[in-house]
Amino acid sequence: MTKPRPMQLATLALLAAGLAASPLLAQGKTFTVGVPLPLTGEHAKFGEMKKQAYQMAADEINAKGGAKGTKLVFDIQDSGGKPDTAMAIVEKFITINKYPIVVGEYTSQCSFAVAGVAEKYKVPYLVDTGATDKITQQGWKYVFRLNSPAGLYAKGVFSFFEEVAKPKSVAILYENTDFGTSTSKSMKDYAESHGMEVVLSEGYQSGAVDFKPILQKVKSLRPDIVYMVSYLMDASLLMRQSKELDLNAQAFIGGAAGHTLPEFLENAGDATELCMAATLWTPQVKYPGAGAFDANFKKQFKKAPSYHAAEAYATAFVLADVLSRAKSTSPDDLRDALAATDMMTAFGPVKFQAWDKFTNQNRMETLVGQWQKGKFETVWPKTLASAPYLYPAPRWRDRK
Amino acid sequence: MTPHTAGQIELLGQVLISGVLLGGLYALIGLGMSLIMGVMKIINLAHGELMMVGMYVTFWAFTLGKIDPYVSLLIVIPVLFVLGAMLQKWLIAPVMEAESILPENQVLLTVGIGLVLSNLALLAFSADYRSVPVSYASKTIYWDVKTGGQTISLSFSFAMLVAFGIALVLGAVLFLFLGYTDLGRMIRATSQDARAASLMGVNTKRITYITFGLGSALVGAAGALLAPVYYLFPQIGGPFTLKAFIITVLGGMGNIPGAVLGGGVLGLAESLGSVYISLGYKDAFGFIIFVLVLIFLPKGLLGKGRA
């Protein structure tokens, strides 16, 4: 290489300075948040839905000038639903992209993995879907959660048991990763401490073709309640095959997720009728903006939003609120602003608290919905209900 | 007979029914891979993705043309046959001929093909779960048996029964084809010793195209049969490739009756294991049998396959 001339040196210096300065310039006009999501793999559908909700919220926020003049931007990367990939993405977000805050992920497994990485690097991570209890039970300082933990999903169901159903026995089927295991444990603990017999409690591998053997076993044990914690397609197959086997119960109850989604109705058809489910949010719940969010999402994306989409949507607004209060965009200042959050969103109230073993955990009501004639109505608690509950359910063969 | 005993008999009966019906479908999935392994000695790790393609063809035929899945077998079989033959001719065979590439690396090529297929599907059709909601999807045939003063109710899924029947028919047709037609004999000859077969005047290259096409057509057909009772998304293939592999080993590579038996064994192992031992380890039972067969009966359950 020839000896560099003065003009070449000057140009190189300007270029280097420009490159170094651009992130600072960019942050002044836009603020980027790192978001790992499963955009491929078996949960791709919900990763996609959350992505759409984040972007819809960002568009709304930015159209009103953003957060204190700063535009909110989401950098969404595909984890495929694999914890290792999610961890690698977040490490890259933190160490290379230098994003001061991370939100997202869908499965409990991935959320927990990402939380560990964020805590290690002291970067705040706002969980908005991952439900397994342990994510906010580690005493971590940088991990916050907007949605209820799995153990509380069924609180609405429990109060329904106490005041209406008073069942004596329950069979529990759950998908065997963090989500199903965590959510079903709360039902098991409740049953054992309230004199209900747990006739069966078995985890299954998501994706099976034929659940009939285990459903027949449940049938032979004659439980009052069948409680299932499943992702979408397993929920559909479980209900269809329960109907085919004429497996009857006073109620089939899902632990959120699969049993609450519009696609559950599309795939299981009339096998969904009278099925109940614990749920975190419905479009008719009386929180400001919930109905509008549902209508706008349907208009823009031609499909109904699941409660995961509502979670993502609310998260964007929480971020905007945090940005407008934070002393700076350093991870620690963002973390402190996040901890001081106290606001209402379309998903519900957001205020991070500590109780029992939980820290930085938002505290919300959980609802019970029921599929009635193809609509998922809120049936419990009565104060938030949109339709009366129908219990107990008649036998499959006796139904019209 | 006490109600409890009746309940236990009902449970066993239902479990056996599930195991056998599912086993028939598994057998069809495994047959294709066994054939390909027998003739070309390569493990087709894109097998599940080929089934996925078959399922999407079935889905679109139903959604756009209102064609019943069982009727669309007439479309799926030729389409997958051509796809498989082309993959062999244009992608796999040239790689096998390149001497600088180790023979084992053809397996990597099939992995690549699988990735491309599933990601093309993701791009073209999105990650949404699809169903083929035929009117008889949940139709059930009930059979009540009165014995010992108790009634035992068994239920059969109509769609699974039909799938089982068609799978058996396809298996029988394949068996007769291989055993009694000239082309079938040429395929068997190539699988026994490709060099000797070519010395006898068999165009072994053409045979490999046809075999891959056949294997693909079989697994595509299995996909069409599975469509009414399961669901579909681009990455559905993986677990089924694994099951096909287990069945191929259980039956012995290239052994058709063995693959059918292997399918049945896998179906029953999953059914019985999930109820009487543990549901969570359902998939493990197939693997355990797989390992045991590899150790003690490397030529397959019937002892007539290639080790």
Instruction: Look up the CATH number of the domain holding residue A196.
Output: 3.40.50.2300
Please name which of B248, B193, B206 lies closest in space to residue B43, comparing C-alpha atoms: B248
* Three-state helix/strand/coil letters over B30-58: HHHHHHHHHHHCCCCCCHHHHHHHHHHHH
Mean residue pLDDT of chain A comes to 90
A263, two tokens: 């696609």
Distance CA(B226)–CA(B266), nearest Å, equals 17
**Residue that has been written with the tokens 């026994």 in this structure:** B192
B140, two tokens: 């059930």
- Give me the phi and psi of A367, to 5 degrees please: -110, 165
Give me the mean pLDDT over the A307-331 stretch: 94
Instruction: Say which of B126, B153, B275 has its CB closest to residue A214.
Output: B275
Digit-coded pLDDT (tens) for B106-126: 788 999 999 999 999 999 998
Nearest-Cα residue of chain A relative to residue B159: A244
Confidence of residue B166 (pLDDT cuts 50, 70, 90): very high
- Give me the phi and psi of A82, to 5 degrees please: -105, 125
For CA atoms B109, B110, B111, B113, the dihedral sign is: positive
Beta strands at A225-229 and A348-355: parallel, antiparallel or unpaired: unpaired
By the 8 A CB rule, do A102 and A90 touch?
yes
Please check the confidence at residue A4 and state whether its pLDDT lies above 70.
no
Least confident residue range of A16-20, A53-57, A241-245, B102-106: A16-20
**A-B Cβ pairs (cutoff 8 Å, strict):** 107
Please check the confidence at residue B86 and state whether its pLDDT lies above 50.
yes
By CB neighbour count within 10 A (0-12 exposed, 13-18 middle, 19+ buried), where does B12 fall? middle
pLDDT score at A27: 46
Amino acid, res. B299: K
Please check the confidence at residue A25 and state whether its pLDDT lies above 60.
no
3-state secondary structure of A70: strand
Contacts of B133 in chain A (CB under 8 A): 266-267, 269
Chain B positions touching chain A (beta carbons under 8 Å): 7-8, 10-11, 14-15, 18-19, 21-22, 25, 119, 122, 126-129, 131, 133, 137-138, 140, 142, 153, 155, 157, 160, 226, 229-231, 233-235, 239, 270-272, 274-275, 278-280, 282-283
Please check the confidence at residue A21 and state whether its pLDDT lies above 60.
no
- Give me the phi and psi of A288, to 5 degrees please: -65, 125
Neighbouring-strand partners of residue A127: A145
Give me the mean pLDDT over the A109-117 stretch: 96
pLDDT score at B43: 87
Please name which of A172, A189, A164 lies closest in space to residue A249, comparing C-alpha atoms: A172
Give me the mean pLDDT over the B183-193 stretch: 91
Question: CA geometry: angle at B24 spanning B250 and B113, to 5°?
Answer: 70
Q: A388 versus B107: which is more confidently predicted? A: A388
Contact A203 B279 (CB under 8 A): yes
pLDDT score at B96: 80
By CB neighbour count within 10 A (0-12 exposed, 13-18 middle, 19+ buried), where does B174 fall? buried
Confidence of residue A23 (pLDDT cuts 50, 70, 90): very low
Residues A181 and A294 in one domain: no
Distance CA(A143)–CA(B196), nearest Å, equals 67
Q: Is residue A8 part of a domain?
A: no
pLDDT score at B208: 93
Query: How far is residue A356 from each of residues A152, A279, B107, measured CA to CA in Å?
Result: 12, 22, 53
* Orientation angle between helical segments B237-251 and B3-40, nearest 10 degrees: 80
Q: Is residue A118 part of a domain?
A: yes
Distance CA(A139)–CA(A195), nearest Å, equals 32
Please name which of B18, B88, B38 lies closest in space to residue B257, comparing C-alpha atoms: B38
pLDDT score at B305: 64
B178, two tokens: 């291989």
Nearest-Cα residue of chain A relative to residue B132: A267
Q: Is residue A126 part of a domain?
A: yes
Beta-carbon contacts of residue B295 (< 8 Å; ≥ 6 apart): none
pLDDT score at A3: 64
Digit-coded pLDDT (tens) for A188-246: 999 999 999 999 999 998 888 899 999 999 999 999 999 999 999 999 999 999 999 99
Beta-carbon contacts of residue B307 (< 8 Å; ≥ 6 apart): B298, B299
Residues A248 and A164 in one domain: yes
Q: Is residue A20 part of a domain?
A: no
Residues A319 and A342 in one domain: yes
Least confident residue range of A263-272, B29-38, B188-197, B297-306: B297-306
Q: Is residue A1 part of a domain?
A: no
Report, in angstroms and rounded to the nearest whole number, the Rg of chain B calculated over CA atoms.
Answer: 20
Question: How many CB atoms within 10 Å of residue B18?
Answer: 31
pLDDT score at A328: 92
Digit-coded pLDDT (tens) for B26-80: 999 999 999 999 888 888 999 999 999 999 999 999 999 999 999 999 999 999 9
Residues A382 and A239 in one domain: yes
Q: Is residue A23 part of a domain?
A: no
Contact B18 A205 (CB under 8 A): no
Distance CA(B259)–CA(B265), nearest Å, equals 10
Residues A270 and A290 in one domain: no
Question: How many CB atoms within 10 Å of residue B41?
Answer: 15
Residues A39 and A118 in one domain: yes
Digit-coded pLDDT (tens) for A60-77: 999 998 888 899 999 999
pLDDT score at A216: 93
By the 8 A CB rule, do A206 and A231 touch?
yes
User: Could you tell me the residue range of the domain that residue A342 belongs to?
Assistant: 29-148+286-362
Q: B95 versus A13: which is more confidently predicted? A: B95
Please check the confidence at residue B307 and state whether its pLDDT lies above 70.
no
Shortest CA gap B239–chain A (Å): 9
pLDDT score at A262: 84
Q: Label residues A221-260 b or e (16+ Cβ within 10 Å = b).
A: eebbbbbbbbbbbbbbbbbbbbbbbebbbbbbbbbbbbbb
Confidence of residue A283 (pLDDT cuts 50, 70, 90): confident
Residues A219 and A272 in one domain: yes
Digit-coded pLDDT (tens) for A135-180: 999 999 999 999 999 888 889 999 999 999 999 999 999 999 888 9
Q: Is residue A10 part of a domain?
A: no
Question: pTM for this one?
Answer: 0.81
Instruction: Say which of A217, A245, A246 has its CB closest to residue B275.
Output: A217
Distance CA(B45)–CA(B113), nearest Å, equals 8
Contact B230 A266 (CB under 8 A): no
Give me the mean pLDDT over the A42-50 stretch: 91
Confidence of residue B227 (pLDDT cuts 50, 70, 90): very high
A135, two tokens: 């994510």
Distance CA(A146)–CA(A288), nearest Å, equals 17
pLDDT score at A16: 64
Query: How far is residue B60 from each of residues A51, B54, B68, B75, B125, measured CA to CA in Å?
Result: 27, 10, 11, 11, 10
**Number of structural domains found in chain A:** 2
Instruction: Say which of A42, A204, A244 has its CB closest to residue B140.
Output: A244
Residues A194 and A165 in one domain: yes
Least confident residue range of B63-67, B121-125, B242-246, B279-283: B279-283
Shortest CA gap A50–chain B (Å): 13
pLDDT score at B6: 87
Longest dimension (CA), chain B: 73
Least confident residue range of A5-14, A183-192, B73-82: A5-14
Q: Is residue A15 part of a domain?
A: no
By the 8 A CB rule, do A110 and A83 touch?
yes
Confidence of residue B83 (pLDDT cuts 50, 70, 90): very high
Please check the confidence at residue A10 and state whether its pLDDT lies above 80.
no
Residues A105 and A126 in one domain: yes
**Residue that has been written with the tokens 């063969």 in this structure:** A397
Instruction: Decide if the complex's ipTM is over 0.90.
Output: no
Please name which of A397, A389, A392, A11 lies closest in space to residue A166, comparing C-alpha atoms: A392
Residues A112 and A220 in one domain: no
Shortest CA gap B38–chain A (Å): 28
Residues A251 and A383 in one domain: yes
- Give me the phi and psi of B19, to 5 degrees please: -60, -45
pLDDT score at B103: 66
Report, in angstroms and rounded to the nearest whole number, the Rg of chain A calculated over CA atoms.
Answer: 23
Shortest CA gap A366–chain B (Å): 27
Contact A213 B226 (CB under 8 A): no
Beta strands at A30-37 and A71-78: parallel, antiparallel or unpaired: parallel
pLDDT score at A237: 94
Residues A141 and A172 in one domain: no
